[in-house]
Amino acid sequence: MNESKVRLFPLALSTKNNQSTFNLNPWLDFIEEQISLNIHLIESVAELEKSCKKILEGVQRQEEVLNIQGKIHRRQYEHLKKNVIEIKHASKSYKTSMNEHLSKQTAFNKMMIRRSSIQNEVLNRIQRNNNRQESILKRYFETALEKLDKNEVNTNQSVERLEALESIIEKIIAKIELEEKIK
């Protein structure tokens, strides 16, 4: 070894001197590693493309379903709107008929009051003649007044319910109109 011009370094001496430890090209390992990475990347991109296609198909199906549901909701909304408008018209006509009924009831009440006053006069005349007839007519008069009062209370309650229903319907219509403006 003294004749050789190759200098031996401690690192070179410590490694085995077989062919497997020597690389012919220092970039060969890097290139092989890069090739395997590139193959892995190509496979990953292919899988990613398949996944993207599946996701895109799912989104397209969801979009179709949403379009169908949107149409159904629009039809239901129009139907509901139509029903609410019909209810509003019906409640207006019901209110009108209730007002007519109230006016008739008031006229009837006035007539009953007139009749009652006439009957009272008759009762006063009959009272002079017969006490027994007076008690019968008094009971009749009181029952008639109680029925009139009950009719009047029932009529007032019906009017209050009708007004409450009309205010609720107006609120619903206002909400519907507001939603239509928003759309």
Examine the pLDDT at 87 and tell me if it is beyond 70: yes
Tokens of 30: 């890097």
Write down the pLDDT at residue 139. 85
Write down the pLDDT at residue 133. 67
Give pLDDT tens digits for 42-54.
Answer: 999 999 999 999 9
Long-range contacts of 102-107 (CB under 8 A, 24+ apart): 102/155, 102/159, 105/151, 105/152, 105/155
Determine the average pLDDT of the residues in 82-99: 85
- Assess contact for 133 and 126: CB atoms under 8 A: yes
Write down the pLDDT at residue 1. 43
Angle between the N-to-C axes of helices 28-129 and 131-182, in degrees from 0 to 180, rounded to the nearest 10 = 160
Measured distance between the N- and C-terminal CA atoms of the chain, rounded to whole angstroms: 96
Determine the average pLDDT of the residues in 139-165: 85
Q: With bands split at pLDDT 50, 70 and 90, how would you rate the model's confidence at 9?
A: very low
Write down the pLDDT at residue 146. 87
Write down the pLDDT at residue 158. 84
Write down the pLDDT at residue 100. 86
Examine the pLDDT at 2 and tell me if it is beyond 80: no
Q: For a pLDDT cut of 90, what percent of the chain falls above it?
A: 21
SS3 (DSSP) at 2: coil
Considering the chain, what is the average pLDDT of its residues?
A: 80
Examine the pLDDT at 60 and tell me if it is beyond 70: yes
